[in-house]
Amino acid sequence: MQERYQAAQRVAKAAGKLALDHLSSMQAGELEIEVKGLQDFVTHADRDVENFIKRELSALFPGDGYWGEESERARGKNGLTWVIDPIDGTANFIRGIDQWGISIALVSGERVEIGVIYDPMRDILYHCRHGQGAMQNGQTMPQLNSGNTRPADALIILGQSRRIGFDVYLNTLKYLHEQEVEHRRFGSAALGLAQAAEGLVDAYFEADLNPWDCLAGLLLIEECGGVVVSGQQMLKDLSNYPVAAGKVCLRQELTHLVGLSGR
């Protein structure tokens, strides 16, 4: 597992460099952008970066399975599956907004063994192994403050999916307003979860997320001593679920938000 852990870090950083090269091409007007759905975009950069990650990892670990945002799931021979989001935050990426990143998780059965999130714009590499703590650019990440952060002092990053009715998002905002919780919405679940693990914010919530968006980030939060209220259940079938994770002292508020999602 250690060999895979080290390889995932190397590949994530190399993939980040490739994405930055594509960003330069896009800014020069040379990158084609396709529309998958309402406010859902994909570029050649997404596909190229995902293919690069799969190619590099499969050369090292040919028996592993792969599932990326831009490709069909390929089952492996050993029960291990790499879950990949090549550019989480494509809508930001194509506009030159610096909130996007690369997410790589390795799943074994119903457990995430490895999580790697790379923020190429700031050259920050978050990485962790199950049960071994979390790292940021090679330095141990501190445990999240377990003190009693009052809701009125809390800051939560939100995501919003058009797969869920807009009333759910409005009810989320209403509840946070009533609890005096501040919120932000940046457009990348992977980076949002990493920033919650880092303690820049106190939690992350989104009513519907894909596994490739969040599995690495959920492990990161757990390894930093946080709580995952919702999201682990997607490991049973790699389906979409609400994701709520952050500081333990916000468990009650996060649980309520999951209830508002109707899931």
Residue type, 55: R
CB-count exposure of residue 259 (10 Å: 0-12, 13-18, 19+): middle
Q: Which amino acids are annotated as binding site, given as ranges?
A: 69, 85, 87-88, 213
CB-count exposure of residue 229 (10 Å: 0-12, 13-18, 19+): buried
CB 193 within 8 A of CB 218: yes
- DSSP state letters, 72-119: --B--SSSEEEEEEEEETHHHHTTT-S--EEEEEEEETTEEEEEEEEE
Q: Which amino acids are annotated as binding site for Mg(2+), given as ranges?
A: 69, 85, 87-88, 213
> What length does the chain have?
263
Task: Report the alpha-carbon distance of residue 58 to residue 76 in Å, rounded.
Answer: 10
Positive or negative, the CA dihedral 259, 109, 193, 141 is positive
CB 197 within 8 A of CB 234: no
For residue 89, CA distances in Å to 37, 46, 107, 134 come to: 15, 10, 22, 23
